[in-house]
Amino acid sequence: MSSAPDPAVVPRPEAQDPRRGAKQPPPEDDYVAELGASESGGGVVAPVLASADVPETSKWEVWSWYAYYIGANGLGLFNFGPTAFQNLLSQAAPEDTGLLRFAGRDRNVNSIVLLTNGISFALQAALFIIIGSYADFGSGRRWILVFWSVVSFGVGFAWLGVHDPSRWEAGVGLYIIGLICYQLTLTYWTAAFPSLARNTPHLKEAAQAFAEGEMSQADYDRLDEMERSRLSNVAFCVQSVGEVVILAIIVGILFGVNVTASTEANNWGLSVLIAFATAVWLVLSIPWFLLEKKRPGLKIPPGKNIITVGFWQLKEALAKIWHLKQSLIYLVGYFLLGDSLNTTVTVIATLQNEVVAYDTLTLTYLLIVGIVAQAIGIAAYWWLQKRYNISAKMMFNVVMVGIILLDGWGMIGNWTDNFGFKHVWEIWLYQAFYGLFVCQWYSYSQIIISSVTPRGHEFLFFSLFTIIGKTSSFIGPFVSSAIIDASPSHNNNSAPFYFLFALTLVSAIGLFLFLDLDKSAREQEAFLAEEKARVAGADSD
């Protein structure tokens, strides 16, 4: 199923006071307003996203943003790419041992997939620290998105030349680069979200009313939150519907290339699907590249540049979070639970591919079931929360139970061959279960991040959670790969679930018992009061 945007890369700053934009702005494109001060005295500077000087969001601009997400659905580089890679590995491995020489030792197919997955996430973490600041600072985000999109298109079309088992090593490169490109494009696409929401005509009118004293801060904040929620939810729904349509077309393509005729035809069919999904992405990305309006990002603090400011962001967030106990608790829990879920999904995907024997038609039908269940699940959770006024923390607890059950399901496979993602019927059930009960992680983990972040420090804290998310994503695959390698015959693909179940259970219990959002709100109030007093003292000196 498609990858939802990493929740940690969705900046959700609270509504900024539009009255701060009333003064005459300088002519530069990066007109900004200060929101606070750092420990070292440098300003934490954010754009006036609701300022009259920032271009208004048009209907066509919003729909072009939606269209990009339909194209960047993950079918090519995130779904079929990994399947094609694992398929080539399984055919290249000798039948008697099932092992291939990779990274200095003989490994089984699933171990290689997990190891390369970990390498990919490690490179993503490094790249995000180095160039991730482009998503927040200055106005170069759009060009970074164009660059990584073009590289993604090249990787997608390159799969047309890699469909023979003898070229599995080339598949390693395409797999790693493809995952990196896909995640980076999602990061920079998502970075446009707050500015789009805050510059819609509806919210600009609200900002004007607030500036003139006709609307309270609380009412303005509620409108701001609802507008961001509207754009986010519609984007997800539009993407889901569009993805189902694309998959329906893909089914026709599969029959056209007759993938059931032979193993070679199935290999070729996977490469064709990746190329087709890439072509759709390319076409649907063009409107956003042309229609996105130039809007200001954060202003780079004095003495920093676009490279060093990323490290500065990380240092600032780490320094501040130690004063917020509840924020720190969630950071640790997010690190552990995010690592467990990311690795769990990867391990199950490798088992799924083996169970259905890499049959491209079956994998496509499974994706359709998963995406439909995903849309139903997220809509149902939102309806229940709204209908019964359930807290975000309670909804998050329910999601954690779903993740625990998922890992427990896989762990049972160590004791029996009758259960544990070892049968086709289980794979169908998994797709439905994940969509209905687990994928809500991407929504509610984001809500909790925004709940433990003090006002005016959203960019710093979301940068921290983004880096933590990327870091955790490569540790789990490395550990799971080592567990498989250390198992008897180096071939127990269910063994990682011992580690994953324990990791999920410990982190979920910790968050359930110790994370208190009411305490977090009080801690944030005290923290902001202390910071305000410190800044006032520094100004008086």
How far apart (Å, rounded) are the C-alpha atoms in residues 270 and 272?
Answer: 5
Backbone angles phi, psi at 485, to 5 degrees: -65, -30
Mean pLDDT in the chain? 82
Going by the DSSP 8-state scheme, the letter that residue 294 receives in this structure is: P
Average pLDDT over residues 523-536: 79
Label residue 536 exposed, middle or buried (CB < 10 Å: 0-12, 13-18, 19+).
Answer: exposed
Q: Do 224 and 197 meet the contact criterion of CB atoms below 8 Å apart?
A: yes
Judge whether 36 and 317 are in contact, CB under 8 Å. Answer: no
The yes-or-no verdict on residue 381 having pLDDT over 70 is: yes
Instruction: Give the residue with greater pLDDT, 493 vs 171.
Output: 171
Is 312's pLDDT higher than 90?
no
Give pLDDT, residue 459.
59
Residue 28 is predicted with a pLDDT of 34
Summarize the confidence of residues 432-446 as an average pLDDT.
Answer: 88
Each residue's pLDDT tens digit, 462-501:
667 777 776 666 778 888 888 888 887 677 889 999 999 9
> Is 39's pLDDT higher than 90?
no
Which residues have C-beta within 8 Å of that of residue 150, sequence separation ≥ 6? Answer: none
Could you tell me the pTM of the whole model?
0.76
pLDDT > 80? residue 295: no
CA atoms within 13 A on the CB side of 473: 24
- pLDDT at 244 > cutoff 60: yes
Most confident of 31-40, 187-196, 281-290: 281-290
pLDDT of residue 472: 65
Residue 446 and residue 455: Cα distance in Å, rounded?
Answer: 16
Which range, of 171-175, 376-380, 457-461, averages the lowest pLDDT?
Answer: 457-461
In the predicted model, what is the mean pLDDT of residues 18-46?
36
pLDDT reported for residue 159 = 97
Give the pLDDT confidence of 249-259 residue by residue, as tens digits. Answer: 999 999 999 99
Asked whether residue 59 carries a pLDDT value surpassing 50, the answer given is yes
Q: Residue 183's pLDDT band (boundaries 50, 70, 90)?
A: confident
pLDDT of residue 238: 84
More confident position, 302 or 458: 302
Confidence of residue 149 (pLDDT cuts 50, 70, 90): very high
| 88 neighbors 166 (Cβ within 8 angstroms) | no
pLDDT score of 332 more than 70: yes
- Band (pLDDT 50/70/90 cuts) for residue 453 is confident
The more confident residue out of 288 and 103 is 288
Q: Which residues pair with 34 in a beta bridge?
A: 45
Write the pLDDT tens digit of every residue in 316-326: 777 888 889 99
- pLDDT exceeds cutoff 50 at 328: yes
Q: Cα dihedral angle (365, 368, 369, 375), rounded to 10 degrees?
A: 180
* Alpha carbon distance 464, 458 (integer Å): 10
pLDDT class of 48 with cuts at 50, 70, 90: very low
Say which range, 30-44, 196-210, 218-232, 431-445, has the weakest mean pLDDT.
Answer: 30-44
pLDDT digits (tens, 9 = 90+) for 65-115: 999 999 999 999 988 999 999 999 999 999 888 899 998 888 989 899 989
530 versus 242: the higher-pLDDT residue is 242
The yes-or-no verdict on residue 171 having pLDDT over 50 is yes
Residue 58 to residue 15: CA distance in whole angstroms:
20
* Segment 114-145, tens digit of pLDDT: 899 889 988 988 887 777 666 667 666 788 89
Burial of residue 283 (number of CB atoms within 10 Å: 0-12, 13-18, 19+): exposed
